[in-house]
Amino acid sequence: MKGFNLALGAVLISAGFVSCKDEVKETAKKNVDHYVVYVDSVNGLDAAERSANWASIEAGYQLRIAEAEASLVALKDDADAKKRIEDGKAKYDGVRQQAIDEAKAKAQEAVAKAGNSVADAYFGAGKVVGDDMTFSWVNKDNILSVYQKFVETFKANKDSYSRQDFDKVKAYYEALDSRKNTVEKEGLSSSDNMKIAGLKLKFAPMFKWERMTAKSEENQDAKDKAN
Instruction: Please spell the DSSP secondary structure of 77-122, one letter per residue.
Output: S-HHHHHHHHHHHHHHHHHHHHHHHHHHHHHHHHHHHHHHHHHHHH
Put residue 5 in one of left, alpha, beta given phi > 0 → left and psi -120 to 50 → alpha: alpha
Instruction: State the average pLDDT over residues 34-47.
Output: 89
Q: How confident is the model at residue 162 (pLDDT cuts 50, 70, 90)?
A: confident
- Whether the Cβ atoms of residue 177 and residue 147 lie closer than 8 Å to each other: no
What confidence score (pLDDT) does residue 1 get? 44
Distance CA 133, CA 146 (A): 14
pTM of the model: 0.49
Instruction: State the average pLDDT over residues 134-144.
Output: 95
Instruction: State the average pLDDT over residues 133-157.
Output: 95
Instruction: State the average pLDDT over residues 171-189.
Output: 93
Q: How confident is the model at residue 16 (pLDDT cuts 50, 70, 90)?
A: very low
Instruction: State the average pLDDT over residues 141-170.
Output: 92
Q: How confident is the model at residue 206 (pLDDT cuts 50, 70, 90)?
A: very high
What confidence score (pLDDT) does residue 149 get? 96
What confidence score (pLDDT) does residue 13 get? 41
Lowest-confidence pick of 7-11, 89-93, 136-140, 218-222: 7-11
**φ and ψ at 78, to 5 degrees?**
-50, 125
pLDDT top residue among 4 and 26: 26
Q: Which of 96, 110, 106 is nearest to 54 (CA)?
A: 96
Q: Which of 205, 203, 187 is nearest to 147 (CA)?
A: 203
What confidence score (pLDDT) does residue 143 get? 96
Distance CA 16, CA 14 (A): 5
The set of long-range contacts for 84-91, using a CB threshold of 8 Å and a minimum separation of 24, is: 84/32, 84/35, 84/36, 85/32, 85/35, 85/36, 88/35, 88/36, 88/39, 89/65, 91/39, 91/40, 91/43
Lowest-confidence pick of 57-66, 110-119, 194-203: 110-119
Q: How confident is the model at residue 110 (pLDDT cuts 50, 70, 90)?
A: low
Highest mean pLDDT among 71-85, 99-113, 146-160: 146-160
The three-state DSSP-derived secondary structure of 53-88 is: CHHHHHHHHHHHHHHHHHHHHHCCCCHHHHHHHHHH
Contacts of 167 (CB under 8 A, 6+ apart): none
Q: How confident is the model at residue 20 (pLDDT cuts 50, 70, 90)?
A: low
Distance CA 207, CA 161 (A): 11
Contacts of 25 (CB under 8 A, 6+ apart): 74, 75
Q: What is the mean pLDDT of the chain?
A: 81
Q: How confident is the model at residue 176 (pLDDT cuts 50, 70, 90)?
A: very high
What confidence score (pLDDT) does residue 73 get? 83
